[in-house]
Structure 1
Amino acid sequence: MRKFLLAAALSALVAPALAAPTTYTLDPAHTDVIASWSHFGFSNPSAHFGDVDGSLTYDPANVAASSVAVTLPLSGLEAFTDKFNTHLNSADFFDSAKFPTASFKSTKVEAAGKDKLKVTGDLTIKGITKPVVLDVTLNKAADHPVKKTASIGFDATAMVKRSDFGLGAYAPMVSDEVKLTITTEADVPKAK
């Protein structure tokens, strides 16, 4: 009987480590991508991309099996003034009438320490695709107390060059390098 109880206890401890990857849907109300840059050295303005759509798969037992795919509708771009919103959506920058979305799709996920990941992927803006590396921190993975579903949250940062994506107007006076700061919350979809 003792051997049976010991085997059952060991199985209970090992089972979570062997859990299959979990796929989550991004919660657009709790996901934000913020871009910030230097404006002639005087200020560091920012714009945010809301209405993010996408999913992520996370496998804590085999991080390399994890992935993320995100679409950023430029209709959710907000630079906090109507005039600047119009300018960012013009052909000088995103040309959102012709290219209404940007996207990111991971190509590699690597462990980078406790609750840290390096996520390499393809960022596509204005039909131009370039590799980008995100430095990611796992904030929390648990049952959400309000949503009553399994949820996960990450923060991430990356540096990109505007000119790589045909967005280089006014460089170098307006910095070519843009810092991306991302926060996301994602949930396991509830069964319908």
Structure 2
Amino acid sequence: MNRLLGAACALPPALAFAAAFALSSPLPAQEAEAEATPAAPASTFGQPDPSLVTGGHYKADPHHTLVEWSVDHLGFTPYFGLFSDISGTLDLDPKRPEQARIAMTIPVTSITVASADLKAHLMKPPASEGGKPDFFGPKPEDARFVSTLVRITGDQQAEMTGNLTLNGITKPVTLQVLFHGAGTVPPQMGGGEGLGFDATGTLKRSDFGLDFGIPMVSDQVELKIAAAFMKDAAKAAP
């Protein structure tokens, strides 16, 4: 084969191209083998198709549910981190999506940031006994979001308002929610029915007593959420 390729390179450009094309073309036997090989089946488990959603009681998948937060740092760059290990429930009737109810628990201690020094600062105890920590302190309570209103705003889109409890303070927060997909999870990955959503929103951290560093670090926090749920077959929706 190497000798044939070397010979092809020594030919004039037009002939060299024809020789290279001939060498790269499959032989009849190779074509027959390719035709006999079945194409890979299309994905059937996660599809952006609302008709695949079935009503019932769902539990949040803590391994694939994430809350990304982002703030502006000194007007130079955004800085973002994640909350993980999130648990919760979703009760849903696809015929009445506006009646969907969700309750989520977000462990503040699960916060992930790129800087070890920043992580230490976020969990740093107050400077004096009985004082206020700069951010969450060493033993922060879990944050919690409980929906209070769902309004359908478009094709596979909704606006969800709920009460967010963070740092011991409860305030309403509104999220823009987009249906991402639903279907059956492959048996090798546990099986069952799953569905997921994307959501975005904003909040002011000062509303929750987290005002350290404002305005050098923005008061406004951008939220980007990936929420995955698995149907609890043992429990019917209320």
TM-score, normalising length from structure 1?
A: 0.85
Range with bigger deviation, 55-64 or 178-187 = 55-64
Cα distance in 1 between the residues matched to 2:207 and 2:87: 24
Counterpart amino acid of residue 70 in structure 1 = M
The aligned counterpart of 1:176 is 219
Matched, 1:31 2:31: no
Quick one: which of 85, 94, 104 aligns to 2:136? 94
Alignment of 1:108 onto 2:142: no
Cα deviation per residue 1:108-160 (whole Å; 9 max; x = unaligned)?
A: 11111111011100011111000000000011122223432111100000000
**Mapped pair 1:152 → 2:186:** no
Identify the residue that residue 206 of structure 2 maps to in structure 1: 163
- In structure 1, distance between residues paired with 2:100 and 2:138: 30
Question: Contact 1:23–1:55 at 8 Å: present in 2 too?
Answer: yes
Partner amino acid, structure 1, of 2:195: I
Shift of 1:100: 2.3
Aligned AA for 2:218? S
| Alignment: residue pair count | 174
Aligned letter for 1:179?
E
Could you tell me how far apart the structure 1 residues matched to 2:155 and 2:136 are? 37
**CA distance in 1 between partners of 2:138 and 2:105 (Å):** 14
Shift, 1:166, TM fit: 0.5
In 2: Cα distance, 1:112 partner to 1:54 partner: 24
Q: In terms of Rg, which structure is larger?
A: 2
- For residues 96 and 60 of structure 1, the distance between their equivalents in structure 2, rounded to whole angstroms, comes to 42
Are 1:22 and 2:63 an aligned pair?
no
Deviation at 1:25, TM superposition (A): 0.6
The unaligned stretches of length 5 or more in structure 1 are: 1-16
RMSD of aligned Cα (Å): 1.9
Q: How does 1:117-128 map to 2 (within 5 A)?
A: 117-128=158-169
Q: Any idea what the Cα deviations from partners look like across 1:56-75, whole Å, max 9, x if unmatched?
A: 12222112220111111122
How far apart, in 2, do the equivalents of 1:104 and 1:163 lie? 18
The aligned counterpart of 2:10 is none
1:130 is matched by which residue type in structure 2? K
1:58 pairs, out of 73, 76, 92, with: 92
Q: Distance in 1 between matches of 2:233 and 2:97?
A: 24
AA of the residue aligned to 2:134: D
Q: Measure, in 2, the Cα distance between the counterparts of 1:54 and 1:107.
A: 15
Q: TM-score, normalized by length of structure 2?
A: 0.69
Give distance in 2, aligned partners of 1:124 and 1:114.
30
Please say if residues 95 and 126 of structure 1, whose CA atoms lie closer than 8 Å, have aligned partners that are also in contact: no
| Offset of residue 96 of structure 1 | 4.6
Matched, 1:138 2:176: no
Q: CA deviation at 1:190?
A: 5.0
Q: Tell me which protein shows more strand as a share of its residues.
A: 1
Asked if the contact 1:21–1:65 (Cα under 8 Å) also holds between the matched residues in 2, the reply is no
Separation of aligned partners in 1, 2:150 and 2:195: 16
Contact in 1 for aligned 2:56/2:232 (Cα 8 Å): no
Tell me how far apart the structure 1 counterparts of residues 193 and 54 of structure 2 sit (CA, whole Å): 14
